Amino acid sequence: MSSLRESTIDIIFDHPDFIVINKPMGISVQNELDADGILPLITAQQSVAKYWLAHRLDKVTSGLLILAKHAEAASTLGKLFEARQIEKYYVALGTAKPKKKQGMVHGAMKKIRDGKWALNKDGAAVATTQFFSKSVSPGIRLYLLKPLTGKTHQLRVMMKSLGSPILGDSLYKGMEQDRTYLHAYCLRFTYQEQEISLCCPPNMGELFLAPAFQIALQDYVQPWLQNWPTSKASKG
């Protein structure tokens, strides 16, 4: 892990008001008792005094993370996220084929035990995720995920509910692997009349780097062009 923390964090997009980085897996967005979070690492790397988190990713999740350069930008980006005007697309790997190759998972998030969450029929914290899936290789399946809400562990719980826990996600009984195979793949939004579309394929993990995955991902180069189903949640 030390080499991971010492490596350069990739800057995917540099705007006057914010940057978008490729967060490595295994690093928290906030400081931990025994390790720095992503903010002190990236501020040291970029030789700046401060960045503001516009949103969050789990420690085990890699991929696109927006960091604001000042408080006003953080507020603007926060409002865009709150209004669901920032489209987020993730890729994940599981082992099981769902009953339907594409669809939507909708349910209330309920905290259970040991830091875990579960989907519940009743409750106010409703989470909605759309998905497509396709075979990568025998026993490995690629999921393209589009969360319409931003609940804690939403995608990890959703995958478990499909009977296909994310590979490497030990908290939700995913099969042991060299990493948790969840990656924040693309972002699409309009910021001050500028249309921004960013994609960053995963660059860590044996299964993500395998040729079979690289070929399968080609179908999702521009995930917003998929025929995503509409819902009340997506209409906001």
Catalytic positions are 58
Helices (H) and strands (E) in the chain, counts: 6, 11
C-alpha 96, offset from chain centre? 20
Calculate the alpha carbon distances from 21 to 12, 59, 211, 214, 218 in Å. Answer: 5, 14, 24, 21, 22
CB 98 within 8 A of CB 142: no
Half-sphere exposure (CA, 13 Å, Cβ side) for 27?
23
Category of 26 on φ-ψ map: left (φ > 0), alpha (ψ -120 to 50) or beta: left
Length of the chain counted residue by residue: 236
Give the Cα-Cα-Cα angle 119, 121, 127 (nearest 5 degrees).
50
Which long-range contacts link 34-38 to residues 24+ away (Cβ below 8 Å)?
35/1, 35/5, 36/5, 38/9, 38/65
Q: And the tokens for 80?
A: 């865009």
Tell me the helix, strand and coil percentages in the chain, rounded to 5.
25, 35, 45
